[in-house]
Amino acid sequence: MRGALILALALSAPAAQAAEAASRISGGLTVDLGFMLDPIVITAPRTKLAPQRHIDERVNATLRRLLTQRSEVRPEDLGVTNDASRVFGELATLTGHMLRLRYTELGFLLTEGLAGAKDFSLQNDLERVARSAPNPQLRASAMVALGYTKEERFVPLFTQMLREPDLTVRLGALEALVASGSPSAQFAIADAAQTDASMAVRIMAAGAYWKMGNLSGRELLLGFISHEDWYVRAHAVRYLGELGDSDEYRKLMDLLQTEQNPIVRSELTLALMRLGKKK
């Protein structure tokens, strides 16, 4: 479900336009753009180890300490941006943005290291952080890490967190539900696609729902391509390009003739190239 998200598009738009779009998309909530940038993919290396291979306890202990320390710090108390952010912030390329996120937001590295953890004490720490830590970024990261365990017992937690007021937490809950691969997660994902206050969550949930084989997700995305907000249209177009076929090709080609926003038009050309292979 990793698609084009707010930051990837906002970086290409004038600052005022990007800020206005982010405000509308978030439904008035605080948007954590850094957390949502998502060309970076969680690889969950511990899930690829053979069953007989055990991770050194010193590795787990280090991850546990980092998780505990950072989860108790609110984002506004983290202080000035570090040197890595300043260096990579000057690289106006996709690689530069990816490196900036990787080395300025510890949540990504912790998610990567803890994703799929089977150790019971690690799972307890992750669940505690997900439920009540002051740092919403770490709450989201903890849920995604638990999602990769594929354990059904965490699905109610993710579903509950989809009702949290913080957008970052809800995005983490949604990604965790998708990562879990649980059939029981589909109802919560469908509900988020239709009712969430943030259009970012609704689009991502609709794409995930369709990817699970439910055509209702497709219908929602088709509705979003006529939305007044350029970002909503662009993001929906990307999902249609990734998941659609010849029917979507025709619809998007028609849209290309009338769409005026340059970002949406660019996304349309990419979607049509992908779909051209399926005609």
Residue 38: the pLDDT is 44
Geometric angle at alpha carbon 3, from 47 and 167, rounded to 5°:
85
Residues 73, 134: contact at Cβ < 8 Å? yes
Q: Which residues of the chain have pLDDT under 50?
A: 1-39, 80-81
pLDDT (0 to 100) of residue 43: 80
Q: What are the residues whose beta carbons fall under 8 Å from the beta carbon of 45, sequence distance 6 or more?
A: 112, 113
Distance CA 106, CA 220 (A): 34
Regarding pTM above 0.85, the answer is no
Give residue 24's pLDDT: 47
The identity of residue 218, as a single letter, is: R
pLDDT at 168: 93
Q: What is the pLDDT of residues 5-33, one digit of tens each?
A: 333 333 333 334 444 444 444 444 333 33
How many other C-beta atoms are found inside a 10 Å radius of the C-beta of residue 150? 13
